Structure 1
Amino acid sequence: MSDQSRAFPDRPSLRFLKLEAKRRLSAGEYTTLHQAQLAIAREHGLPSWTALKEHIEAAGPASHALTQMRWVMSRFATADAPEWTAPSEEELRQHFDDRYLALVPPDWLTGLFRTVARQLREGITDVRAEPLRLRARIADLRVEAATEAEPPHRLRQLRLYPLERKVEDQRVAAPPTHVFGAVPPEAQAVAGDSYAELGLVGLIVAGGTGDGFGWATARGWASLDRDEVLLPEHRFPAYSITKLVTATAVLRLVADGRVRLDEPANAYLHTIRLADDAVTVRELLSHTGGVDSPTAMFADRVPDLVSITGPVAACGGPRGTFTYGHGGYALLGQLIADVTAARYEDAATRMVLQPLGMRASGFPHSPPASTVAIGHRLTDEGVFEPVPASVFTMPAAGGLWSTAADLVRFGLGWPSLLPDPLAREALRPQAERDDSPGGQAGLGWGLVLPKDVAGHPGAGSGCSASLTVRPSLAGRGGQTWVVFTNRQVLVEAINERLALPIT
């Protein structure tokens, strides 16, 4: 162990010192990384690696974002204790700007911090702090924050993402990357960070603007057991993103005068009826019809819908209140079939997929076997294993299989299939969502108006997917981002980083 003292540079880099410790370990100078780090700390006159990190953090440029985050940690660290007193709205406004508190109301924000109080007590690590920005880790949470440029430097962005349990599977240690088009550097960085933080087998991130599908980056493997590298053209189950295709098909029937939004759905349903004759088409589209969701969601083959719902679909939920589920969209698929006198899959393909050039997309009745990503799950030992292949039992609610490029085409092109007023109606709030602050339900679309984005997630059976758009309704346009993973995880962090980067 060296006893030679070394002076810090003007702006010491913890990242450089970490790499130096790993270099010394690889060179055989030390038998453990801890020994190499301790040696470097002592060379700089500090007793431990922790003390070295704290010294570098203190010596770096002042970070208003780090200062505000330390206030959050201090103020909410005991928020789960019975005697804790919540901050007033006035106190919160001293640390969060008005726009942020309009997006995340004070009561909701306080409730969020209560749920992570335990983590807040464990301290902050992996700090990458700039004067106005912060990226760090608190226990099993990834933190990203940004402040106002001017005093009092209140927080204007703050995100907490859960990190996945550590992966021990060495097969994913050095993931290959394949790209299509000119991938923006920030998107490539998001893909790299997310792959590691979420513990993934494969990840595709894709996007485009009003000009059409632009780029995609694929990282990792389509199948670990087959050692099959993931490519941008691999197909994934889109799961509940399918609802956007179904909603667009229904709205095409509305545009043609064959269906009316505010008519009872039973006026068009013949094969299967709703138990409540008053539920309208609009209510089915906006998840406010109170239709029950069938419990059988995955199978080896798609069954007849009536075998799942029965000849009369139950409506046990409250009408007029947003309650997300699959039952209403299963019945919308039957409505499309009854009105067009065709199978839902054929009608949706003819009305939506084909006009948008989604040639690699479809509604298979059994799991497809070629050019598909295999779903994976993580065992208790931290090793990946494949998930048995299946299909969604209700094609109109979750049966679409697609590529990232095709979903980008859908996100950019769906307004071109509808008259402008109807496309705008699809993105108009129909009901408040109960699962996110500031969230609204459109006709199929999930809306976050303060962020100027809309979209829909999908997850199940070893895979996750997401489609996010920043709309422009002049025929075609706006921006679209698509995420596919072949491990079922929350991909909200990826969506936020792509559409609303911390700046």
Structure 2
Amino acid sequence: MAGSLVWLGLLATGGAAAAPALSPPDPGIDALLQRYDGQVPGAAVLVLHDGQPVFQRGYGLAVVEDHTAVTARTNFRLASVSKQFTAAAVLLLAEDGALHLDDPLKRWLPSLPAAADAITLRHLLSHTGGLLDYEDLMPATATAQVHDIDVLHLLEAQDRTLFAPGSQYRYSNSGYALLALVVAKASGQDFATFLRTRIFQPLGMRDTVAHQDGVDDVARRAYGYSAFDGRWQRTDQSPTSAVLGDGGIYSSLDDLARWDAALYDQRLLTTASLRQAFAPATRTNEPDVPFYGFGWRLNGDAQWHSGESIGFRNVILRYPRQHLTVIILTNRDGPEPYPLALQIAQRWLDTLQ
């Protein structure tokens, strides 16, 4: 049986709300999520329309070993969905006047080689910097986790780029890891602290954290799993899982509803900054994704981003013109939930056109 429906304690608009009446399960959505149901790694699904939760449900297990069920407050590793928060941190510092988007990257990270001279922060935000992928620079036998600062050290030894900065698009985890270091340099705070004090706490995202082992704990944590020979095994961490800027944030449906609400007004970022985040900064080479903004993929009316890391697959899909958002968080290696999000969104879009 699918996990019980749990509504947000606060409306996505951030105001206090009486507990709304429970809505019945949706047989169509439940059928789409059937593979996540039961005693298996699960999924959390939220649909927001006009700032209100019109569907929210947990399926399966956050922790397989002790049968902990997924709920609206289960915190999943967001993987690359984290990039929109890194971009927002840079935009906040630009509003503060602490940095400028067209600053040379080497103003902030001068140890990079000469090949990085022409790279700007704007290039990193839009994946047009041409940096080498740090994952490709790690030894194949590496088992120790790397951190954002280790990404910098790996790139310091590479006096070349994949293309002239600004001339092409290539999705780059390296760029967002370096942006986390820039945020720390420009703010005088470590990246996780800046996110907590400038984004998560102001928005009431009480349990969201850029997770660092030995520094913080993840409340109601979902652990990641992969299927081997028909059995689920915990595969929660890899050597790259400790890099924060490109994918290290944990969050829940409850908290992401607050984040989504903040993207409609100026409670966090100015209208000008939001316009920059969602403007088509560059054409991409990704199928069915014409443009990339700052931490967002852009396709017609849709603003979205997926997140993939060992043991987790996630997506946030927004249609701001229709005030519709679908969020799917999963703690398993597959499948990619973006097609599911599109199918779920279409159920509402068909009535909103």
Q: Pairwise mapping of residues 304-453 of structure 1 onto structure 2 (< 5 A)?
A: 305-306=149-150, 309-310=153-154, 312=156, 314=158, 315-318=160-163, 319=165, 320-366=167-213, 368=217, 370-380=219-229, 382-389=230-237, 392-414=241-263, 416=266, 417-449=268-300, 452-453=301-302
Residues 313-359 of structure 1: CA deviation (Å, up to 9, x unaligned): 74522232110120000111111111111111111222221221111
In 2, the alpha carbon distance for the partners of 1:238 and 1:343 equals: 20
In 2, the alpha carbon distance for the partners of 1:344 and 1:230 equals: 28
Residues 77-96 of structure 1: CA deviation (Å, up to 9, x unaligned): xxxxxxxxxxxxxxxxxxxx
Q: Which of the numbers 80, 89, 98 marks the counterpart of 1:249?
A: 89
Q: 1:411 touches 1:467 (CA, 8 Å); kept in 2? A: no
Residues 437 and 231 of structure 1: CA distance in aligned 2, closer, same or farther (over 3 Å): closer
- Counterpart residue number, 2:28: 189
Structure 1 residue 226: deviation in Å? 1.3
Q: 1:207 touches 1:408 (CA, 8 Å); kept in 2? A: no
Residues 292 and 411 of structure 1: CA distance in aligned 2, closer, same or farther (over 3 Å): farther
User: What CA RMSD, in Å, does the superposition of the two structures yield over aligned residues?
Assistant: 3.0
In 2, the alpha carbon distance for the partners of 1:422 and 1:499 equals: 26
In 1, the alpha carbon distance for the partners of 2:279 and 2:157 equals: 28
- Which structure has more relative contact order (CA 8 Å, sep 6+)? It is 2
Residues 8-59 of structure 1: CA deviation (Å, up to 9, x unaligned): xxxxxxxxxxxxxxxxxxxxxxxxxxxxxxxxxxxxxxxxxxxxxxxxxxxx
Structure 1 residue 433: deviation in Å? 1.5
Q: 1:376 touches 1:386 (CA, 8 Å); kept in 2? A: yes
- Counterpart residue number, 2:118: 278
In 2, the alpha carbon distance for the partners of 1:335 and 1:274 equals: 18
Residues 250 and 188 of structure 1: CA distance in aligned 2, closer, same or farther (over 3 Å): farther
Matched, 1:495 2:350: no
Structure 1 residue 311: deviation in Å? 6.8
TM score, norm. by length of structure 1: 0.58
SS in 2 for 1:317: coil
Q: Pairwise mapping of residues 2-81 of structure 1 onto structure 2 (< 5 A)?
A: none
- Counterpart residue number, 1:44: none
In 1, the alpha carbon distance for the partners of 2:32 and 2:309 equals: 23
Which one has the largest radius of gyration?
Answer: 1
Structure 1 residue 270: deviation in Å? 4.7
Structure 1 residue 179: deviation in Å? 2.7
Residues 428-450 of structure 1: CA deviation (Å, up to 9, x unaligned): 1111121122521111210011x
In 1, the alpha carbon distance for the partners of 2:103 and 2:223 equals: 42
TM score, norm. by length of structure 2: 0.81
In structure 1, list runs of 5 or more residues that go unmatched: 1-173
Matched, 1:211 2:62: no
Residues 438 and 387 of structure 1: CA distance in aligned 2, closer, same or farther (over 3 Å): closer
In 1, the alpha carbon distance for the partners of 2:51 and 2:123 equals: 34
Aligned amino acid, residue 427 of structure 1: F
Percent of matched pairs sharing the same residue: 25
Q: Which of the numbers 461, 470, 484 marks the counterpart of 2:310?
A: 461
Q: 1:266 touches 1:277 (CA, 8 Å); kept in 2? A: yes
In 2, the alpha carbon distance for the partners of 1:191 and 1:274 equals: 54
- Counterpart residue number, 1:180: 7
In 1, the alpha carbon distance for the partners of 2:114 and 2:297 equals: 24
In 2, the alpha carbon distance for the partners of 1:278 and 1:219 equals: 47
Residues 313 and 497 of structure 1: CA distance in aligned 2, closer, same or farther (over 3 Å): farther
SS in 2 for 1:412: helix
Q: 1:301 touches 1:366 (CA, 8 Å); kept in 2? A: no
